Chains A and B, each alone.
Chain A
Amino acid sequence: MITKRIIPCLDMTQGKVVKGIQFVNFRDTGDPVKLAEFYDSEGADELVFLDITATVENRDILVNVVKETAKKVSIPFSVGGGIRTVNDMGMILRAGADKVSVNTGAFKNPNLIKQCAKTFGSQCVVLSLDARKVKKNRWNVFINGGGTDTGVSALTWAKKAVSLGAGEILLTSIDTDGTKKGFNIDLTKTISEEVNVPIIASGGAGKIEDFFEVFDKGKADAALAASLFHFKELTIKQVKQYLANKKIPVRLN
């Protein structure tokens, strides 16, 4: 059966990994390609690159990182940050990424999802959705790096994006992100049960049990974490072994 995926996230700016600066072996360089190779060898199922200060000037740097990563790693990876047009997406895919994630650009122009899915296939189009709780059982979509409340419900937008052709949703809970108190189970479960594409849960991973929770109760298809892995508080192998012992299907080869 299909296994649950464990995905390290590499937040980058100007071609350097930012959250990973204290990462043991790469402290001085923050080299995303080296980090990607390391995670590939550690058993990561996939990688996510987010260019957190994506600008036009930085685009060439990002494309080079993607090209180098594609040469070195042999697991799938997605790239996101500042994608506004089909051309932006094509450039990243041609450089060797398997998927591209769209966030603010797609919210402002939902047709972007439709065009990208039509041109490259739904499997390449990941909707990156940042959600924050506004009242009981209601989460809104926040854009511009989580800074702007759109007033639109996360569930409504998730459903619409899937109907337009998004093949996967990278769902980040702003409420839990950085807290290390566990993934947002309610949000993840709500979205996962209502849409028919895989959900990558993100935000809040702090201890090994959190991964079990997000798969078991949250119904996530994949779980993402950044600093937890970068700082080696947990290794991917530990997480997977733990999940396997708890009868969650994971890839161990």
Chain B
Amino acid sequence: MIVIIDYGLGNLGSVKNTLDKLGVYSLVSNSFEKIEKADALILPGVGSANQGMKNLKKFKLDKLIIGEIKKGKPFLGICLGMQLLFSKSEEGNVDCLNIIEGTVKKFSSKLKIPQIGWNEVRIKNLEVRIKNLFKKVPNNSSFYFVNSFYCNPKNKSIIVGESEYGVNFCSILIKNNIVATQFHPEKSGRVGLQFIKNWLSLI
């Protein structure tokens, strides 16, 4: 059973719809019991980092998530759900979960913000493709993005794929049991579905 963590933000329904489409049983929940029992966790998210952290703390999900990730449970962070894993976000200057060392930075104000639309993801790390995460997803495929901020991990070796929006930014990373994407695979059409299917097959 997959739990999509409900912290009162964002497009929880879209992720659930996607898993339904793939025939995978999932729950949208913030229950400690369900989260602890889950085979894997997804932290989705649309919204601001400060509101996101506020909500995680309000439901006491911050410590729970850190604990579950430490236990080695497969974890997928999407968009804000990726950014919240970092040490700190420039969005509201908020301290985040600090599971991944690094900061979340704002795109240059010379660009149209938010970045809305489909952007190419260049896979950097071939080893990962061997791990099947990108099975049937050709390199440089376009995925759907909606973001004003991007993640800048301190340890560059966790960056698996990059995209360009004024700057080259980390659009997907893998660290142990964590996969995190700045793009929305649940809104990225056929390749997005395939990507989620691949992630599920790794669990």
Contact = CB atoms under 8 A, between A and B. Distances in A.
Interface stretch (A25-33, A121-129, A209-217): A121-129
B132 interface: no
Interface string A84-105: 0000000000101010000000
A75 B189 contact: yes
B116 A167 contact: yes
A75 B21 CA distance: 13
Interface residues of A, number: 30
Interface in A47-78: 70-71, 74-76
In this complex, the interface size class of chain B, counting residues with CB under 8 Å from chain A, is: 35 or more
Given A123-B114, A222-B117, A74 B192 contact: yes
Contacts of B47: 120-121
Given A74-B187, A98-B11, A5 B46 contact: no
Contact of A71 (B11, B20, B165, B184): B20
B21 A74 contact: yes
Interface string B137-160: 010011011100000000000000
Contact of A253 (B18, B21, B48, B142): B142
A168 B148 CA distance: 13
A1 B164 contact: yes
B193 interface: yes
A34 interface: no
B40 interface: no
Contacts of A2: 115, 117-119, 145, 165
Given A3-B142, A253-B191, A94 B13 contact: yes
A3 B48 CA distance: 24
Highest count of chain A CB atoms <10 Å: which of B13, B21, B117: B117
A94 B28 CA distance: 13
Nearest to A40: B189
Given A70-B13, A94-B13, A121-B46, A75 B187 contact: yes
